[in-house]
Amino acid sequence: MVRTAVAFCPGHISGYFKKVAGETPETTGSLGAGIVVDEGVRAVASAADRLDVVIRRVDRNGRTLAESVGAPPVEYLMTELGVAARVETTCRLPIGSGFGLSAAALLASATALDALFDLGLGGEGIAALAHRAEVVHNTGLGDVAACQGGGVVCREGPGTAARITRVMTDETIYALSFGPLPTPEVIGSPEQLARVAAAFPPECPRDLAELFAFSRAFAEKSGLVRPEVRAALDACDETGVPASMTMLGLGVFAAGEGAGEVLAGFGELFPLKVAHEGFRLVEVRES
């Protein structure tokens, strides 16, 4: 009999953020706001003799586009938990493009491992461990906290126990990516972080419109907008479509009437729904 645990975690598009450097990974993280989206990472875990992580990216029909082996943050989870498993992650959104997939992979993997080995971590334990793995590997700051639930999300403190507000909406978000912007390169650079901190808007958005307004002001001041992102933002501006840059990736997200049409010419477009819930166990099966 082989026991397999399956879990899912939504992705998170960060609109703006500010690093908070605490004394420990638990108190380190970011303040900021973004959108938890219904596309994310599915993790399938089964017991094995050694740690084995497979990352798979698929198209809308589930066909494999790319597959790679090894993910240090996910391996860190297993080492910390003292377990050995084969973990396969599957996602449709591009990795490294500001969709919070490292956090989604960590939360989905930790949830599957918790169930597979009956570790009893619970939601809070899973989130705390995934957050530590993100911070230790510099792959993210606030995505794990955000993906504990759904909605347009605002994090008012660092870490998974901070105050977080969520606003639900049924609007479609259109996202596209021109390529990766490696998270460690930005959050590992004091100069970049200083610029980002100076651009940080102090308020939480009350709705999607405010999220776009605050995110865009932040993107402009952050110095992170590159020419390809600029071209897509300009096209949105010309037609009055609210849009901003996916942090941290070379991508754009937009919403409202005409958003899909305007962005369609720029590359592969992902229509996304705002997630109504965060990471979760899907099933444990024996076969």
User: Interface residues with ligand 2JD (CB under 6 A)?
Assistant: 14, 17, 30, 32, 98-100, 102, 139-143, 183, 187, 247-249
d(CA 160, CA 263): 34
Question: Least Å distance between CB 29 and ligand 2JD?
Answer: 7
Count how many residues are written for the chain: 287
Question: Toward ligand ADP, which CB reaches closer, 31 or 71?
Answer: 71
Question: Least Å distance between CB 15 and ligand ADP?
Answer: 14
Q: Which of 29, 73, 151, 158 binds ligand ADP (CB under 6 A)?
A: 73
Question: Least Å distance between CB 147 and ligand ADP?
Answer: 11
Question: Least Å distance between CB 219 and ligand ADP?
Answer: 16
Q: Which of 35, 105, 130, 250 binds ligand ADP (CB under 6 A)?
A: 105
d(CA 126, CA 130): 6
| 140 lines the binding site for ligand ADP (CB under 6 A) | yes
| 71 lines the binding site for ligand ADP (CB under 6 A) | yes
Question: Toward ligand 2JD, which CB reaches closer, 216 or 262?
Answer: 216
Residues 80-99 that bind ligand ADP (CB under 6 A): 89, 91, 95-96, 98-99
| 101 lines the binding site for ligand ADP (CB under 6 A) | yes
Runs of H (alpha helix) within 117-207: 122-137, 143-146, 183-187, 190-199
Q: Which of 139, 160, 177, 244 binds ligand ADP (CB under 6 A)?
A: 139
Q: Which helix (H) or strand (E) holds 41?
A: strand 29-47
Q: Which does 150 bind (CB under 5 to 8 A by kind): ligand 2JD, ligand ADP, none?
A: none
* Residue 245 CA from chain centroid, whole number: 14
For residue 224 the two structure tokens come to 């992170």
Q: Which of 28, 102, 215, 244 binds ligand ADP (CB under 6 A)?
A: 102
Q: How crowded is residue 149: how many other Cβ atoms within 10 Å of its Cβ? A: 17
d(CA 114, CA 110): 6
Q: Which does 111 bind (CB under 5 to 8 A by kind): ligand 2JD, ligand ADP, none?
A: none
| 245 lines the binding site for ligand ADP (CB under 6 A) | no
Q: How crowded is residue 273: how many other Cβ atoms within 10 Å of its Cβ? A: 16
Per-residue binder mask for ligand ADP (CB under 6 A), 26-65, x = binder:
---------------x-------------x----------
Q: Are 185 and 168 in contact (CB under 8 A)?
A: no
Question: Least Å distance between CB 258 and ligand 2JD?
Answer: 26
For residue 233 the two structure tokens come to 């933002």
Residue with tokens 């026991």: 3
Q: Which does 17 bind (CB under 5 to 8 A by kind): ligand ADP, ligand 2JD, none?
A: ligand 2JD
* Residue 142 CA from chain centroid, whole number: 9
Q: Are 54 and 69 in contact (CB under 8 A)?
A: yes
Nearest partner of 6 among 95, 101, 88, 93, judged by Cα? 88
d(CA 192, CA 66): 31
d(CA 10, CA 108): 9
Q: Which residues form the interface with ligand ADP (CB under 6 A)? A: 41, 55, 71-74, 89, 91, 95-96, 98-102, 105, 139-140, 182-183, 249
